[in-house]
C-alpha cells in the first residue's frame, strides 16, 4: 500500500512540474501564438543564479548565499527580468511575423542563452546545496513521503490557484483571456497589446523560476540542459491538453507526469531506459484518437 501511495505521490509531483511549465508555454502561446522554447533556458538560468563561484568569495555576495526568502525573491527577479528582456528584444520586433519565424526566433534565443550559460559557468555539471533539509521524509497518516515532493505539490497548487484567480478576477487577467480568444478584437476594445504580452512573459518567468527552485531542491545538480526535457514534456502536455487551452495544459502536464512515473514503476528493468520513448508513443496514440487535444479552447472551436 505504501509503495502504491509513493508512486501516486511521485506522479502528482512530476505532473505538477510539467503542469507549471505547460501553463507558462500555453499562456504565451495564447496571447502571442508563440511556442517559446526559450522557457527551458529561463529554468536553467534561474537554477544557475544560485551558484556561488568560489569558496574564497563571501557567499552573501551571491543569490545562493542569501537567506531563503531573499534567495527565492532573487531568483524570481532574475528570471522575470530575463523573460521581459527576451520579449522586448527578440520577440516584440517580430510580433507580426508568421508563426514559423517566431518559432525560429525562440530557438535562436534558446541557443544564445544556453551558450551564455556555458560561457559563464562552463558546460560541466555543478552541485548546489539548497534545500537539503527538505529531502528528509515527512510522515503523513503512517506513510513516509519526501518533503521536497510535498513542497512541489504545494507550490504547484498555490500557483495554479493563484493563476486561476488572476485570470478570472483581475482586470489584467480578463484582458489576457480576451486577447487569447481574439487578439485583434481585444485591441480594438482598448486592450494594450504590449502590456498584455509583457505580463504573460512575466508570469512565464515566475513559473520558470519556481520550477528552477523546485528542481534544485529535488536534485541539487545543475546542467546547462536541465530545463530542456521538462519543456519538451510540457510541450507535449500542451498539445495533449489542447493548444491555447490553459486548463488543457495543466491537465496534459499531470497526464504526462502520470504516464512517465507509471512506466518507470511498472516496466521491466531492462526496458526502463526507454521510458521516454514509451511516453512519446502514448502521446502519439492519444493524439491519434483526439488530434485537437482533450480540451478545445473557445476561439479554436469557433475557427473550426
Give 106-161 pLDDT, tens digit per residue.
999 999 999 999 998 888 888 887 766 676 777 776 667 778 888 899 999 999 99
Residue 154 is placed in which grid cell?
504545494
3-state secondary structure of 143: strand
Q: Give the ranges where the chain is alpha helix by DSSP (H).
A: 2-32, 39-48, 68-86, 99-121, 147-169, 171-181, 183-188, 193-219, 228-241, 246-266, 275-289, 298-303
Query: Is residue 299's pLDDT more than 60?
Result: no
To the question of domain 2-303 being in CATH 1.10.3470, the answer is yes
The C-alpha atoms of residue 28 and residue 303 are separated, in whole angstroms, by 20
Give 228-255 pLDDT, tens digit per residue.
999 999 998 998 888 878 888 899 999 9
pTM, two decimal places? 0.90
- CA-to-CA dists, residue 113 to 120, 173, 210, 237, angstroms: 11, 29, 19, 24
Give 36-50 pLDDT, tens digit per residue.
999 999 999 999 998
> Which residues contact residue 182 at a Cβ distance below 8 angstroms, ignoring those fewer than 6 apart?
299
pLDDT band at residue 59, thresholds of 50, 70 and 90?
A: low
What are the domain boundaries of the chain?
A: 2-303
Mean pLDDT in residue range 79-105: 90
Residue 270 is placed in which grid cell?
531492462
Amino acid at each position: 500500500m505504501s509503495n502504491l501511495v509513493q508512486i501516486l505521490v511521485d506522479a502528482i509531483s512530476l505532473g505538477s512540474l510539467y503542469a507549471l511549465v505547460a501553463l507558462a508555454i500555453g499562456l504565451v502561446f495564447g496571447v502571442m501564438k508563440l511556442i517559446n522554447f526559450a522557457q527551458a533556458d529561463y529554468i536553467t538560468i534561474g537554477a544557475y543564479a544560485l551558484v556561488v563561484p568560489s569558496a574564497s568569495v563571501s557567499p552573501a555576495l551571491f543569490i545562493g548565499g542569501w537567506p531563503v526568502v531573499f534567495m527565492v525573491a532573487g531568483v524570481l527577479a532574475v528570471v522575470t527580468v530575463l523573460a521581459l528582456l527576451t520579449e522586448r528584444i527578440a520577440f516584440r520586433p517580430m510580433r507580426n511575423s508568421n508563426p514559423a519565424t517566431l518559432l525560429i526566433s525562440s530557438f535562436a534565443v534558446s541557443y544564445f542563452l544556453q551558450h551564455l550559460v556555458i560561457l559563464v559557468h562552463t558546460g560541466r555539471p555543478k552541485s548546489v546545496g539548497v534545500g537539503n533539509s527538505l529531502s528528509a521524509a515527512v510522515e503523513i497518516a503512517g506513510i513516509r513521503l519526501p518533503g521536497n515532493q510535498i513542497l512541489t505539490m504545494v507550490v504547484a497548487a498555490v500557483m495554479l490557484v493563484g493563476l486561476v484567480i488572476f485570470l478570472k478576477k483581475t482586470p489584467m487577467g480578463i484582458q489576457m483571456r480576451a486577447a487569447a480568444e481574439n487578439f485583434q478584437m481585444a485591441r480594438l476594445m482598448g486592450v494594450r497589446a504590449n502590456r498584455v504580452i509583457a505580463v504573460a512573459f512575466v508570469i512565464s518567468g515566475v513559473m520558470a523560476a519556481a520550477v528552477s527552485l523546485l528542481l534544485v531542491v529535488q536534485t541539487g545538480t545543475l546542467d546547462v540542459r536541465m530545463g530542456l526535457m521538462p519543456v519538451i514534456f510540457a510541450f507535449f502536455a500542451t498539445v495533449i491538453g489542447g493548444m491555447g487551452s490553459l486548463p488543457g495544459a495543466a491537465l496534459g502536464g499531470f497526464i504526462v507526469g502520470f504516464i512517465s512515473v507509471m512506466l518507470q514503476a511498472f516496466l521491466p528493468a531492462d526496458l526502463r531506459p526507454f521510458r521516454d520513448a514509451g511516453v512519446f508513443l502514448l502521446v502519439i496514440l492519444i493524439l491519434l484518437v483526439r488530434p485537437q487535444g482533450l480540451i478545445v479552447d473557445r476561439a479554436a472551436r469557433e475557427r473550426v
